[in-house]
Chains A and B, each alone.
Chain A
Amino acid sequence: MDAFLALLTIFMLALFVGREIITKVPPLLHTPLMSGSNAISGITIVGALLSVAAEGLVSTILGFLALVLATINVVAGFLVTHRMVGMFKKRD
Chain B
Amino acid sequence: MNAVFIDLTYLFASILFIFGIKGLTHPRTAVRGNLLGATGMLLAVVATLADRQVLGAGTQELALILAGVLLGSVIGVTLALKIQMTAMPQMVALLNAFGGGASALIAGAVLAEVDDPTMQTAVATVVSGIIGSVTFWGSLVAFDKLQGLMLPDHPVHFPAQQVGNGMLGVTALGLGVWVLSDPSNLAAYGLLVAVASVLGILLTIPIGGADMPVAIAVLNSYSGLAAASTGFVLNNDILIITGSLVGASGLILTLIMCKAMNRSLMNVLMGAIGPDSGPAVDADAMYAGRVKRTSAEEVAMLFDGARRVVIVPGYGMAVAQAQHQVRDLANLLQSRGTEVEFAIHPVAGRMPGHMNVLLAEANVDYDKLREMDDINPSFEQTDVSLIIGANDIVNPAARTDPSSPIAGMPILDVDKSRTVVVVKRSLSPGFAGIPNPLFAADNTLMLFADGKRAVLDLITAIKEG
Give the chain B neighbours of A81 by CB distance below 8 A.
34
Give the chain A neighbours of B223 by CB distance below 8 A.
38, 41
Q: Please tell me the number of chain B residues within 8 Å of chain A, measured between CB atoms.
A: 112
- From A11, A64, A71, A72, residue with most partner B Cβ within 10 Å: A72
Cβ distance B116 to chain A, nearest Cβ, rounded Å: 14
| Complex Cα gap A86–B32 (Å) | 10
Quick check: which of B17-25, B197-205, B276-284 contacts chain A, the rest being far away?
B17-25
Contact A71 B247 (CB under 8 A): no
Q: Which of A22, A32, A69, A77 contacts B353 (CB 8 A)?
A: A32
Contact A75 B73 (CB under 8 A): yes
Quick check: which of B41-49, B173-181, B424-432 contacts chain A, the rest being far away?
B41-49
Chain A binding surface, main DSSP class:
helix
Q: Contacts A44-B239, A47-B236 known; A37 to B65 CB distance under 8 Å? A: no
Quick check: which of B106-114, B146-154, B387-395 contacts chain A, the rest being far away?
B106-114
| Complex Cα gap A18–B54 (Å) | 31
A-B pairs with CB below 8 Å: how many?
A: 370
| Complex Cα gap A73–B69 (Å) | 11
Give the chain B neighbours of A84 by CB distance below 8 A.
85, 88, 357, 360
Q: Chain A contact residues (Cβ within 8 angstroms of B): what range?
A: 35 or more
Interface string of A79-92 (1 = CB under 8 A from B): 11111111111110
B268 within 8 A of A: no
Contact B220 A38 (CB under 8 A): yes
Contact A58 B186 (CB under 8 A): yes
Contact A58 B109 (CB under 8 A): yes
Interface string of B1-40 (1 = CB under 8 A from A): 0000000001000000110111011110011011101101
Contact B106 A52 (CB under 8 A): no
Give the chain B neighbours of A46 by CB distance below 8 A.
10, 44-45, 48, 236, 238-239
Contact B72 A14 (CB under 8 A): no
On A, residues with C-beta under 8 Å from B are 3-4, 7, 10-12, 14-15, 17-19, 21-56, 58-60, 62-91
On B, residues with C-beta under 8 Å from A are 10, 17-18, 20-22, 24-27, 30-31, 33-35, 37-38, 40-41, 44-45, 48-49, 51, 53-54, 56-57, 61-62, 64-65, 67-69, 71-73, 75-77, 79-81, 83, 85, 88, 91-92, 95-96, 98-99, 101-103, 105-106, 108-110, 112-113, 120, 186, 216-217, 220, 223-224, 227-228, 230-250, 252-253, 256, 344, 346, 351-354, 356-357, 360-361, 363, 365-367, 369, 371
Contacts A43-B243, A54-B109, A80-B83 supplied; 10 other A-B pairs, CB < 8 Å: A3-B120, A37-B246, A37-B249, A47-B234, A47-B239, A53-B51, A53-B54, A62-B112, A66-B109, A70-B72
